[in-house]
Amino acid sequence: MDKNTALELLQKKSFAQLKVAFGEMMPADAAELITHLIEDDNDFGERELTFLFRILPKDLAAEVFTFLDSDLQRVLINAFSDKELRSVLDELFLDDTVDIIEEMPANVVSRILKAADPEKRRQINELLNYPEDSAGSIMTTEFVFFRKDSTVEDALDRIRSIGIVKETVYTCYVTEARKLIGTISLLELLVAEPEEILENIMTSNIVFARVHDDQEEVSKLFRKHDLASLPVVDDEDRLVGIITFDDVMDVMQDESAEDMAKLGAVLPNEDSYFDTSVLKHVKSRIVWLLVLMISATLTGMITNHFEAQISAIPLLVAFMPMLMGTGGNSGSQASTMIIQGMAMDEIRLKDFFKVIFKEFRVAFVCALILSAVNFVRIMLFYHDLRIAAVVSLTLIGTVVMAKLLGCILPMLAKRLKIDPAVMSAPLLSTLVDSCSMLLYFTIAMHLLDF
Amino acid sequence: MDKNTALELLQKKSFAQLKVAFGEMMPADAAELITHLIEDDNDFGERELTFLFRILPKDLAAEVFTFLDSDLQRVLINAFSDKELRSVLDELFLDDTVDIIEEMPANVVSRILKAADPEKRRQINELLNYPEDSAGSIMTTEFVFFRKDSTVEDALDRIRSIGIVKETVYTCYVTEARKLIGTISLLELLVAEPEEILENIMTSNIVFARVHDDQEEVSKLFRKHDLASLPVVDDEDRLVGIITFDDVMDVMQDESAEDMAKLGAVLPNEDSYFDTSVLKHVKSRIVWLLVLMISATLTGMITNHFEAQISAIPLLVAFMPMLMGTGGNSGSQASTMIIQGMAMDEIRLKDFFKVIFKEFRVAFVCALILSAVNFVRIMLFYHDLRIAAVVSLTLIGTVVMAKLLGCILPMLAKRLKIDPAVMSAPLLSTLVDSCSMLLYFTIAMHLLDF
């Protein structure tokens, strides 16, 4: 069903037909349709949203709810009766409930907690207490575990009785005194003899995370071992939750957005572009702009020092943008490669000299090519051998220096346990710009007989 | 087991112990250990690698093999007897086999194809024929499907008999004349009555991809619907394969690396940093460096036009790096936000004017703050009201223009179906630099009475 069909059915009050049409949609598509209706159509407001949501088949409603923006979720929660709220919450997985709560204002949170039963409320509070971006904060406490002396038949019976409620029963966990000692997949249970004891058929090589591990480490474990779910244990090795692949995909998405933001000199921000206010956008951008503006001043001070030379040969100024630009790009190419290599564990700190040697060779070849093209260009346009020599020599020095700094700074940052992407950007551009201008005017002074 | 323990056991020829120790490791960890041994230790060569691999427990060996770098895989395949090669291939999933083949030289490929049985060879050839980055190229043809009139009991029996061979049997597919008509999860089979007919309990709302869909669209579907696997159909709607979440995580990783590379003005490259030769590194970097160097020349030509003004007041040159730097950063902040917003479907093309209005307000506030700080700084250091006014006015114009170009260019690129990240970077920096210099010297000419 598309937007126009939905609007038409609403206007014709063909609610039964609307309900059927929604029933045939995937929950995420239904949520997207509802979001577009409210965004694109001024007649479609909060009242219509609540009305439409109440039309949805009950089992679909809760799923659609999890796919809505937090703004729309808030509107709906405010419109719900206590009974409606409870019935939606009952259908939600615990980690989705916690995700929703984290986005809600205090009064909505207390309504949600009041509507949950005491056991669920205890679990929600526990999950809310883990630090942001930790394994604990993205796990769910709903998982299936068995004692090591259970039989395969007991286990299958228990899974049948629990049914579809638990988020991942395809990997089941075997515990002893609440400590995780093994895993077994549903498929393994299915092909095993019914009277077999779990301890004899479980896998005891377990990949697991601890509640305080960083979510980025968790995502690395998933990718390294191709996991569908990962058990999480507390400081006493007790199994307290599991993380599923879908939450890790969200983490990967967020981390990649964060990296892109850092490279674009924007402070990361969790809200979407339009949900962020103008002032919040300014706040996430102005810091870097100020830092970079102030640091560019250093380069200005260096050129200022060579005022006499500039007055004498103002043509020198014409090559400044090219030199600084090429230096900046050469440096950021190197730092991008190194930051990415380190993030993927392809480059380790002990490879320091190997990296420098490699970058030096890459830089040298790039520098020779750029410098040759540039020499020819200046000779063609300005017929000035000395200027061409000055600019081309500076270019070689600038590119080599920029590429070396571009690999040294991120590795240094990592060694000092600072985020390489954040530290290297401003320092790199400042250093490359000022060094290249210093080099340029120094070479000019010597070759142009001032 | 760590590297030193493994080396020690090898030297002491305690092979039985070594085999046990490997048996307790996760395949990815064992592969990592072997890779580090061969990378860090000069005594550990191809002979040792093959020897170690032969020690591995047989079921672990094939899995470890998939986690090794393609260089090491090639060495091993060359060392294998035909029988060994066949036994490793038999344990591999089809999509992993295809991934390996894609990295191998022709002679190795033909050995692998010869070792595979005819049916597997046919499937491998089929998968190899799909275009790179298409859904077909990342799918596997190993999946479980049933006819719609099968009973639950039949289905479970079939799953038990197929066992652990198929990659994902947690979602089973129901077909009619090879066309996909429904899905059913293993859990649903387990809780259903044994004599129930699949058609009555299957889900007929299906999310699927077509063989020629782009892998980025596939990854969006996984994230949108929180999928563990996705069926792939051909042009006649026949089910031909499935894609599993672990392959999608690899796609996400690759796409994010590709985006980072584009932002860093490097042509994407699939090999790891050290596996790429110096000349290949040069090739993936020199194109952008040349383009950006040539385009920076435009800015140089503009400043060259104002030679007289520069000779008269060389202090003007001191603010050029700051103006160009701040303009460049303001623009790339905006373009990063917009490119990311479009990639996440938060910003659509019809939001064009909404985006421009928002960026204009953000730009204006940023510009005022930067310009005020800058005005005070120049007054403090140079006590020159007119220069301070010229620079601060230019800064306001530059920041506003840069942010507007930074949002217009990526949206324009998308409209023209060009990759926004690739098109906007060089055009943006060239336009911003030259416009800001033009603005600077024009304002200077008017306010400084040349």
Angle at B384 between CA B379 and CA B389, to 5 degrees: 80
Residues A431 and A283 in one domain: yes
Residues B153 and B125 grouped into a single domain: no
Inter-residue contact B162 to B144 (CB < 8 Å): yes
Q: Is the pLDDT of residue B408 over 70?
A: yes
Quick check: is B138 in a domain?
Answer: no
Instruction: Single out the residue in B104, B129, B154 at which a domain terminates.
Output: B129
pLDDT bucket at B369, cuts 50 / 70 / 90: very high
The residue among B60, B169, B222, B289 with the most chain A CBs within 10 A of its CB, best to mutate, is B289
Q: What pLDDT is attached to residue A166?
A: 57
Cα B55 to Cα B25: distance, rounded to the nearest angstrom = 14
Task: Give the model confidence (pLDDT) of B176-188 as tens digits.
Answer: 988 999 999 888 8
Q: Does A245 touch chain B (CB under 8 A)?
A: yes
Whether residue B111 lies inside any domain: the answer is yes
- B253 in a structural domain: no
B203 - beta bridge partners? B183
Range list of β-strands (E), A43-149? 145-147
pTM for the full predicted model: 0.79
Q: Is residue A294 domain-shared with residue A437, that is, in the same domain?
A: yes
The answer to whether A166 faces chain B, any CB pair under 8 Å, is: no
Q: Which two tokens stand for residue B6?
A: 């493994």
Contacts of A338 (CB under 8 A, 6+ apart): A347, A355, A406, A407, A410, A411, A420, B273
Sequence length of chain B is 450
**End of a domain among A212, A236, A251?**
A251
Euclidean distance between CA atoms B366 and A294, whole angstroms: 15
Q: Do A249 and B246 touch (CB under 8 A)?
A: no
Q: Are residues A247 and A366 in the same domain?
A: no
Q: What is the pLDDT of residues B152-168, one digit of tens each?
A: 999 988 888 876 655 66
Residue A19: which CATH number?
1.25.60.10
For residue B96, give the nearest of B119, B51, B64 by alpha carbon.
Answer: B64
Which residues, numbered 308 to 347 in chain B, qualify as contacts with chain A under a Cβ-Cβ cut-off of 8 Å?
Answer: 308, 310-311, 314-315, 317-322, 324-326, 329-330, 332-333, 335-341, 344, 346-347
Q: Residue A240: inside a domain, yes or no?
A: yes
Q: How many CA atoms lie within 13 A of B34 on its CB side?
A: 32
Let me know the angle formed at the C-alpha of B264 by B262 and B267, rounded to the nearest 5 degrees. 45
* CATH number (domain holding residue B361): 1.10.357.20
Per the CB < 8 Å rule, is B317 touching A301? no
Residue A394's region, left for phi above 0, alpha for psi from -120 to 50, else beta, is alpha
**Is B357 domain-assigned?**
yes
The last residue of one of the domains, among B79, B105, B129, is B129
User: Quick one: B233 and B286 in the same domain?
Assistant: no
**Residue type at A155?**
A
Q: Is B296 within 8 Å of A322 when comparing Cβ atoms?
A: yes
- The verdict on A124 and A150 lying in the same domain is no
Q: Does B105 touch chain A (CB under 8 A)?
A: no
Is B261–A164 a contact, with Cβ atoms under 8 angstroms apart?
Answer: no
In this structure, the answer to whether residues A228 and A291 fall within a common structural domain is no
Distances (CA, A) of B398 to A185, A304, A373: 60, 22, 30
| Residue A243 shares a structural domain with residue A204 | yes
- Those residues whose C-beta lies under 8 Å from the C-beta of residue B182, and which sit 6 or more positions away, are B148, B173, B174, B198, B199, B202, B203, B204, B206
Q: Which residue has the higher pLDDT, B399 or A259?
A: B399
Of B81, B170, B190, nearest in space to A161 by CA: B190
Q: What is the pLDDT of residue A164?
A: 62
Q: Are residues A103 and A152 in the same domain?
A: no
In this predicted structure, which of A257-261, A407-411, B356-360, B398-402 has the lowest mean pLDDT? Answer: A257-261
**pLDDT value of position B125:** 81
Of A187, A281, A289, the CB nearest to B164: A187
Whether B211 and B134 have beta carbons less than 8 Å apart is answered as yes
In this structure, is residue A370 part of a structural domain?
yes
pLDDT higher at A93 or B335: B335
Q: Which of the two residues, B210 and A262, has the higher pLDDT score?
A: B210
How close is the nearest chain B Cα to the Cα of A206, in Å?
A: 8
Q: Which residue has the tokens 């093994």?
A: A182
Choose the most confident range, by mean pLDDT, from A26-30, B100-104, B222-226, B438-442.
Answer: B438-442
**Element (H or E) spanning A179, and its range?**
strand A179-185
Q: Ramachandran region of residue B47, left (φ > 0), alpha (ψ -120 to 50) or beta?
A: alpha
pLDDT at B288 over 60: yes
**pLDDT value of position A6:** 80
- B169 versus A236: the higher-pLDDT residue is A236
Q: Tens-digit pLDDT profile for chain A (450 aa)?
A: 777 788 788 788 888 888 888 888 888 888 988 888 888 776 778 888 888 888 888 778 888 888 888 888 888 888 888 888 888 888 888 888 888 888 888 888 888 888 888 888 888 888 888 888 899 888 888 888 899 899 999 998 888 887 665 566 688 899 998 899 999 988 888 888 889 999 999 988 899 999 999 998 999 999 888 888 899 999 888 998 899 888 899 888 888 888 888 877 788 777 788 888 888 889 888 988 898 888 888 899 999 899 888 888 889 999 999 999 999 889 988 998 898 888 888 888 888 999 999 999 999 999 999 999 999 999 998 899 999 999 999 999 999 999 999 999 999 998 988 888 776 677 888 889 999 999 999 999 998 876
Q: Is the pLDDT of residue B112 over 90?
A: no
A314 and B311: CB-CB below 8 Å? Answer: yes
* CA neighbor of B34 nearest in space, from B65, B79, B78: B65
Look up the domain containing A426 and give its range: 278-447
What is the domain count for chain A? 3
Reply yes or no on whether the pLDDT at B437 is more than 90.
yes
In this structure, what token pair is assigned to residue B368?
Answer: 């005022």
Please tell me the predicted confidence (pLDDT) of residue B228: 86
Within a domain: B319 = yes
State ipTM: 0.78
Eight-state DSSP code of residue B214 = B
Whether residue B286 lies within 8 A of chain A, CB to CB, comes out as yes
What's the count of helices (H) and strands (E) in chain A, helices before strands? 23, 6
Look at residues A233, A177, A235, A173 and name the one whose alpha carbon lies nearest to residue A204: A173
Q: CB–CB of B241/B140 below 8 Å?
A: yes
In a domain, B15, yes or no: yes
Residue-wise pLDDT tens digits, B41-53: 777 788 888 888 8
Asked whether residue B88 falls in the same domain as residue B161, the answer is no
**Number of Cβ pairs < 8 A linking chain A and chain B:** 337
Are the Cβ atoms of A289 and B340 closer than 8 angstroms? no
More confident residue, A213 or B61: A213
Same domain? For B185 and B116 the reply is: no
Average pLDDT score over chain B: 87
One domain, residues A382 and A413: yes
User: What's the rounded Cα separation, in Å, for the pair A346 and A400?
Assistant: 23
Pick from A281, A309, A326, A365 the residue to mutate for testing the B interface (most B CBs within 10 Å): A281
Tokens (6 digits) for B374: 């800058």
